[in-house]
């Protein structure tokens, strides 16, 4: 199957993953990340209010925005209706991927093994989310995958530390997915100043490793 156009994620090389039980500060956290230069945001479907915030970001054209933790076709339709550009899944769901591509969305499925990664790419994945990468060996695991699978764009995600972003990118990551190490306590206590400082560091690291 033909792959969709991943330019939005590729351009910034970092995808900020926003997941929160309450979602009270979702909009202000998103705005802070965008203002700091983060160009791709993934808001998870199990975060209250995610679809509405995605719509606001997409309508303003301020960033490449998608929805994550998409596990069912109805969640793909939710993302599409909200104006998302892409969907991210924790595993390889062919039904989700087929619908996403039919609706013109980029599709980033989660995979662990070379067999899963090959299957995701053959099914039309825009790029493959290697998840949970930190539990599998971090940057070294990505290097080992990239040996035989260097033609498949891979996005290491899950436990990615901010200090390892450059290492992942040097080892061939297409982009890097970053969640709680970037967000810190911003959702819990509204520390947007700390969030902005971390986001600026992340953007600087990603920019330094542009191909």
| pLDDT tens-digit series, residues 12-30 | 999 999 999 999 999 999 9
pLDDT of residue 210: 73
Q: Which residues is 15 bridged to in the sheet?
A: 40, 177
H or E element that contains 189: helix 186-189
168 burial type by CB count under 10 A (0-12 exposed, 13-18 middle, 19+ buried): buried
**H-state helical runs in 61-108:** 73-82, 94-102
**Residue 3 confidence (pLDDT) above 70:** no
pLDDT of residue 7: 65
**H-state helical runs in 20-72:** 26-35, 50-60
pLDDT of residue 2: 38
pLDDT of residue 211: 66
pLDDT of residue 8: 80
**Residue 65 confidence (pLDDT) above 80:** yes
**Residue 1 confidence (pLDDT) above 60:** no
**94 neighbors 73 (Cβ within 8 angstroms):** no
pLDDT of residue 4: 44
Spatial distance between the Cα atoms of 110 and 132, rounded to a whole number of angstroms? 8
Identify the residue whose tokens are 């994945």.
125
Percent of the chain with pLDDT over 90: 92
Residue 207 token pair: 């920019």
Spatial distance between the Cα atoms of 23 and 8, rounded to a whole number of angstroms? 24
Pick the CATH number of 7-206 from 3.30.420.10, 3.20.20.70, 3.10.620.30, 3.40.50.150: 3.20.20.70
Using omega within 30 degrees of 0 as the cis cutoff, is the peptide bond preceding 132 cis? yes
pLDDT of residue 111: 98
Active site residues: 42, 129
State the pLDDT confidence band at 114, using cuts at 50, 70 and 90: very high
**87 neighbors 67 (Cβ within 8 angstroms):** yes
pTM: predicted TM-score of the whole model, two decimal places: 0.95
Residues 153-209: pLDDT tens digits?
A: 999 999 999 999 999 999 999 999 999 999 999 999 999 999 999 999 999 999 887
Q: Where are the domains of the chain?
A: 7-206
Number of Cβ atoms within 10 Å of the Cβ of 80: 18
pLDDT of residue 209: 79
């Amino acid at each position: 199957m033909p792959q969709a156009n991943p330019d939005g994620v590729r351009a910034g090389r970092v995808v900020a993953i926003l997941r929160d039980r309450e979602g009270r500060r979702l909009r202000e956290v998103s705005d802070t990340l965008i203002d700091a230069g983060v160009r791709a945001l993934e808001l998870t479907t199990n975060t209250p209010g995610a679809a509405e915030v995605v719509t606001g970001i997409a309508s303003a054209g301020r960033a490449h925005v998608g929805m994550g933790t998409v596990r069912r076709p109805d969640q793909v339709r939710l993302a599409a209706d909200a104006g998302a550009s892409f969907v991210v899944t924790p595993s390889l769901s062919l039904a989700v991927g087929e619908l996403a591509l039919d609706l013109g969305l980029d599709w980033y499925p989660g995979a662990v093994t070379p067999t899963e990664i090959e299957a995701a790419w053959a099914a039309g994945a825009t790029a493959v989310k290697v998840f949970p990468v930190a539990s599998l060996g971090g940057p070294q695991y990505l290097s080992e995958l990239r040996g035989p699978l260097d033609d498949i764009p891979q996005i290491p995600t899950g436990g990615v530390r901010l200090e390892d972003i450059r290492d992942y990118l040097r080892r061939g990551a297409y982009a890097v997915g970053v969640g709680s190490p970037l967000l810190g306590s911003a959702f819990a206590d509204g520390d947007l100043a700390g969030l902005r400082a971390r986001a600026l560091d992340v953007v600087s690291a990603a920019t330094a490793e542009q191909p």
